[in-house]
Amino acid sequence: MTMLTGRRVLLVEDESLVAMFAEDMLLDLGCEVVTAMRLEQGLTLARNEDFDFAVLDVNLGNTRSYPIADLLFERCIPFLFATGYGRQGLEAAYQAVPVLQKPYQADPLEHLLTRLLTCEAPAHKGASSVPATCRCQPAEAEQGRFRADPIR
């Protein structure tokens, strides 16, 4: 049992194979996963259902996931962006949102989601950086904490 066990998560990821991978990773963390692969699906879910947190891929092919992020801000549902482009790929209004650098990895994902749940001052739209009172740090800065598998 961890803090993540039994949590309901909205996963928005537009590539089938990557979505399957991320879904499995969240299931392994004990989460209940609801997956959306298109903007409209994600918006409907974010508007109508309850989630403990969300993981949003930024680039959804023909569009971006920012409208979903806006709904989550409004509903005070914490979330992180998963993107291969890193923080510099985010629009200015979303700079305070924690970023998980793709490809998905279990340890950084678990770490960041745990921080998301314990964060006292969640990010809000337009904030220029992660709030000082928040212990969430950008994923990039955290990556050094994780050791690679020992070479055998």
Partner 1 sequence: MPNSRQPLQSEPAAIRPLPTLRHAGQLFETERRLNAVLNNASVSIFLMDDRQHCIYMNRAAEELTGWTLDEVLARDCPLHDIVHHTYPDGRPFPLHECAIDRAFPENNQERGEEVFVHRDGHFYPVGFTASPIRDDAANIIGTIIEVRNISEEKAAAERQRLLINELNHRVKNTLATVQSIAAQTFRGRTDLAVRAVFDARMTALSTAHNVLVEDNWESASLISVIERSLAPHLLAEVDINRFRLDGPDARLHPKVAVTLAMALHELMTNAAKYGALSTGEGRVSVTWALSDLGGGQQQLDLTWQEQDGPPVAQPTRKGFGSRLIERQLPLEFDGSAVITYAPEGVVCAMRIPLTQLGWIGQETVEGSLAP
* Contact footprint for partner 1 (CB under 8 A): 14-17, 19-20, 35-38, 40-41, 59, 61-64
How, if at all, do strands 63-64 and 59-60 pair? antiparallel
What does the DSSP 8-state code read for residue 2?
-
Least separation, in Å, of the C-beta of 89 and partner 1? 12
Q: Could you tell me which residues come within 8 angstroms of residue 43 by beta carbon, excluding any fewer than 6 positions away? A: 67, 68, 71
Nearer to partner 1, 14 or 142 (CB): 14
Residue number, 16 or 48, with CB nearest to partner 1: 16
Q: Which two tokens stand for residue 112?
A: 């960041």
Closer Cβ to partner 1, 63 or 137, answer by number: 63
Q: How far is the CB of 36 from partner 1 (least distance, A)?
A: 7
Q: How far apart are CA 112 and CA 118, in angstroms?
A: 10
In angstroms, give the least distance from the CB of 85 to partner 1.
13
Residue 92's Cβ-count burial label (10 Å; 0-12, 13-18, 19+) is exposed
Estimate to the nearest angstrom the gap between the alpha carbon of 55 and the chain centroid.
Answer: 3
Residue 5 or 63 having the CB closest to partner 1: 63
Chain position carrying tokens 């020992």: 150
Q: How near is the Cβ of 92 to partner 1 at its closest, in Å?
A: 16
